[in-house]
Amino acid sequence: MHPVSAEPLDLQIYLESTLKPDDGLLQRLVRDTYAHTVHPRMLGGPVLASLLRVLVALRPPRRILEIGTFTGYTTIQLARAARDAEIWTCEPVEAHASIAARYLEEARVAARVHLALATAQELIPTLVAPFDLVFLDGDKADYPEYLSLVRPLLPVGALLVADNTLWGGKVANSAVNDARTEALRTFNSLLANDPEFTTSILPVRDGVTLAVRC
């Protein structure tokens, strides 16, 4: 999810032009998302998906946890890229989860995806370690809590990816102090100063954090 991309619009357009277009199923999912949800820009989008595919190719995961399914765009991208992986994903909004479930079935990846109608706080305590890849894209106000919750699930070498960590540039603006922006500042600081993670924030779209457990 992103409020405003940290990248200039012309650069966003150029980046998307370098990628293969989404197939028909994903294009329909995007159209359905814009037609039937209040905040369709919460979709991950093709640039983020391309980065996730590269990360998966570098070290194919067997178990993936995604916080924030929304309508399933990124979930499908992860499932297609990591063909031998099982994915656990959670979405607390029933209307969003319903769209995701339908497209996961149509994409023929539903058998490997455990979709929970739940918050991260409800799902994570039920899970058993380890997870090779955790992708955070839920409520930004909860990012510091997510970090605390997923830490026990991440063995050495596991990858944590978090979307929207630059938050439209708001994290760098000291005049902005709403709850989500402050939470993201806290999350970024926690990871940057945590000796158990090697971390980098990439200025891709709205900011993508990569952190390897060490």
Q: Predicted confidence band at 12 (pLDDT cuts at 50, 70, 90)? A: confident
pLDDT tops 60 at residue 92? yes
Domain locations in the chain? 9-213
pLDDT tens-digit map of 63-80: 999 999 999 999 999 999
Q: 9-213 adopts what CATH topology? A: Rossmann fold (3.40.50)
pTM over 0.85: yes
CB 156 within 8 A of CB 87: no
pLDDT at 4 over 60: no
Cβ proximity of 64 and 113 under 8 Å: no
pLDDT score for 13: 87
Confidence band of 2 (pLDDT split at 50, 70, 90) = very low
